[in-house]
């Protein structure tokens, strides 16, 4: 029989890696709650239609990468490839806008895209994201970008590059689109097959193509800033002024577009760790999507958000960036009734918030202490029959082997002294 393995491009996250994950997730939760964000958890499975309508039919995600299928009841479903469409669906379905004029929501969870696996690029990966729903002013854009940058820096990742651009509004997009079509039609022979198709379906995406010939062809493409409305222009210049109040250094990249159709006005990326991540060095992507709420059936509601790839951030974290693990206390039992005593003492210690390992079966003290060593216990508590007569136990410092008899009601402080 062939060995069972997890699906290509997907990974087990093992206990030894978990302290880093917890550290990152806790940093994220703490930081975004300081900005007033609250967590939302949506299902991993949604109707296919949500992503087709939300992300856009001619995006790579929907065209090529989505895990979409029919279930046994012929419902067309998809594993979520990103978080925003689901959050907005939940926002509308649960009428969250009736609760507060501004909703600030964050999420952490797995996403699924059938891409070619590489370092920092997987078919199941985790994102931490945030959405600020209800404010159109550039103050919201600047605060959100500032929050993302602060998070990366809190993790100790210093050398990052913040890139921003404006895609303008749906009213001015057709003119820019036409200009791109005209420009790239003359360079058709240089473009990859996908981009030749994009000329009809989604010409903006040619600017985002990772094929080298296409990026060369795009070098002198029309500039989006020549096509912005006055409002979009002033929104973008407000943003640039405000970002300095958040201590964000940035570069304006007029050719930057993003992989999803829903973006309007501000888009941004944070790049970092190219030496480690190679082509996967975009660690954060985000932007404004003023049309999405309406697109999904709600009222016109300005919104901005971002998402981080957690694995990519973890690849850039130093070894010290992890949650500290509690030291272990091992409880051993000897003599008549030893096993029962280990159960009682373990419960007493866990009530005092110690992390406790116990033997599960009777055995010699030697074999139990061996297990204590293996579980890297700092202290062993030996519940022997003689001490039990005086309501006491022996505690052993596992580093130097020193032992002392301690009454049960003084156990907690005595163990703390040894930790």
The stretch among 176-184, 233-241, 278-286, 383-391 that binds ligand ATP (CB under 6 A) is 278-286
Smallest gap, in angstroms, from Cβ of residue 408 to ligand ATP? 51
Write phi, then psi, for 13 (nearest 5 degrees).
Answer: -105, 110
Q: How far is CA 320 from CA 155, 316, 323, 372, 419, in A?
A: 10, 12, 9, 26, 20
The Cα-based distances of 210 to 221, 263, 274, 411 in angstroms read: 16, 19, 15, 63
Q: Tokens 């300095």 map to which residue?
A: 244
**Shortest Å distance, C-beta 193 to ligand ATP:** 19
Taking CB atoms, the residue at the shortest distance from ligand ATP is: 309
Nearer to ligand ATP, 66 or 284 (CB): 284
Q: Which stretch binds ligand ATP (CB under 6 A): 113-121, 231-239, 292-300, 345-353?
A: 113-121
Q: Which residues pair with 307 in a beta bridge?
A: 129, 285
The vertex-19 CA angle with 13 and 22, nearest 5°, equals 85
Binding residue (CB under 6 A) for ligand ATP from 19, 109, 110, 259: 259
Pick left, alpha or beta for residue 335 (phi over 0 → left; psi -120 to 50 → alpha; otherwise beta).
left
Closest distance to ligand ATP from the beta carbon of 307 (Å): 4
Q: Which of 51, 122, 184, 354 binds ligand ATP (CB under 6 A)?
A: 122
Q: How many CB atoms lie within 10 A of CB 21?
A: 17
Piece in contact with ligand ATP (CB under 6 A), picked from 98-106, 121-129, 163-171, 398-406: 121-129
**Segment 60-89, which members bind ligand ATP (CB under 6 A)?**
82
* Placement of tokens 């703490």 in the chain: 30
Nearer to ligand ATP, 77 or 315 (CB): 315
Q: Is position 309 an interface residue for ligand ATP (rule: CB under 6 A)?
A: yes
Cα 286 vs. chain centroid, distance in angstroms? 13
Contact 185, 198 (CB under 8 A): no
Minimal CA–CA distance to 21: which of 246, 314, 329, 266? Answer: 314
Closer residue to ligand ATP, CB minimum distance, 259 or 298: 259
Report the residue number, 211 or 418, with the smaller CB distance to ligand ATP.
211
Q: Which stretch binds ligand ATP (CB under 6 A): 147-155, 186-194, 249-257, 282-290?
A: 282-290
**Quick one: tokens of 283?**
């660690």
Q: Does 121 bind ligand ATP (CB under 6 A)?
A: yes
DSSP 8-state assignment for residue 106? E
User: How many angstroms separate the CA atoms of 333 and 337, rounded?
Assistant: 8
Q: Per-residue contact track with ligand ATP, 209 to 248, x per CB under 6 A?
A: ----------------------------------------
284 sits near ligand ATP (criterion: CB under 6 A): yes
CB of 250 within 8 A of CB of 266? Answer: no
The footprint of ligand ATP (CB under 6 A) covers: 82, 113, 115, 120-122, 125, 127, 258-259, 280, 282-285, 307-309, 311-312
């Amino acid at each position: 029989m062939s060995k069972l393995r997890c699906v290509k491009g997907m990974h087990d996250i093992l206990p030894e890696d978990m302290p880093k994950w917890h550290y990152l997730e806790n940093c994220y939760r703490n930081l975004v709650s300081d900005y007033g964000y609250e967590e939302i958890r949506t299902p991993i499975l949604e109707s296919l239609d949500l992503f087709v309508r939300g992300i856009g039919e001619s995006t790579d995600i929907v065209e090529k990468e989505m895990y979409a299928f029919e279930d046994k009841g012929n419902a067309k479903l998809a594993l979520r490839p990103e978080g925003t469409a689901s959050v907005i669906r939940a926002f509308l379905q649960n009428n969250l806008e009736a609760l507060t004029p501004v909703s600030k929501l964050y999420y952490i969870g797995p996403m699924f895209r059938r891409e070619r696996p590489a370092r920092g690029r997987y078919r199941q990966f985790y994102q931490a994201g945030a959405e600020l729903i209800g404010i159109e002013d550039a103050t919201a854009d600047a605060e959100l970008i500032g929050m993302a940058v602060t998070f990366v820096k809190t993790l100790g990742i210093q050398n990052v590059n913040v890139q921003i651009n404006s895609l303008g509004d749906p009213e001015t997009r057709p003119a820019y689109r036409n200009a791109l079509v005209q420009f790239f039609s003359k360079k058709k022979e240089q473009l990859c097959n996908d981009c030749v198709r994009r000329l009809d379906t989604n010409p903006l995406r040619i600017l985002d193509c990772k094929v080298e010939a296409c990026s060369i062809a795009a070098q002198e493409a029309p500039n989006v800033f020549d096509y912005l409305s006055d409002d979009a222009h002033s929104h973008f210049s407000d943003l640039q002024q405000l970002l300095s109040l958040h201590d964000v250094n940035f570069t304006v990249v007029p050719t930057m577009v993003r992989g999803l159709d829903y973006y309007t006005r501000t888009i941004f990326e944070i790049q970092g760790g190219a030496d480690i991540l190679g082509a996967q060095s975009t660690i954060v992507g985000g932007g404004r999507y003023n049309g999405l709420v309406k697109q999904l059936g709600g009222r016109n509601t300005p919104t901005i958000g971002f998402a981080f790839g957690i694995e990519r951030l973890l690849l850039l974290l130093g070894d010290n960036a992890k949650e500290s693990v509690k030291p272990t206390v091992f409880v051993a039992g000897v003599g008549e009734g030893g096993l029962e005593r280990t159960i009682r003492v373990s419960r007493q210690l866990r009530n005092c918030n110690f992390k406790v390992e116990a033997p599960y079966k009777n055995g010699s003290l030697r074999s139990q202490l061996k297990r204590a060593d293996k579980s890297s216990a700092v202290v062993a508590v030996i519940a022997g029959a003689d001490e039990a007569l005086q309501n006491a136990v022996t505690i052993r410092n596992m580093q130097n082997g020193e032992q002392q008899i301690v009454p049960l009601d003084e156990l907690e402080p005595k163990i703390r002294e040894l930790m």
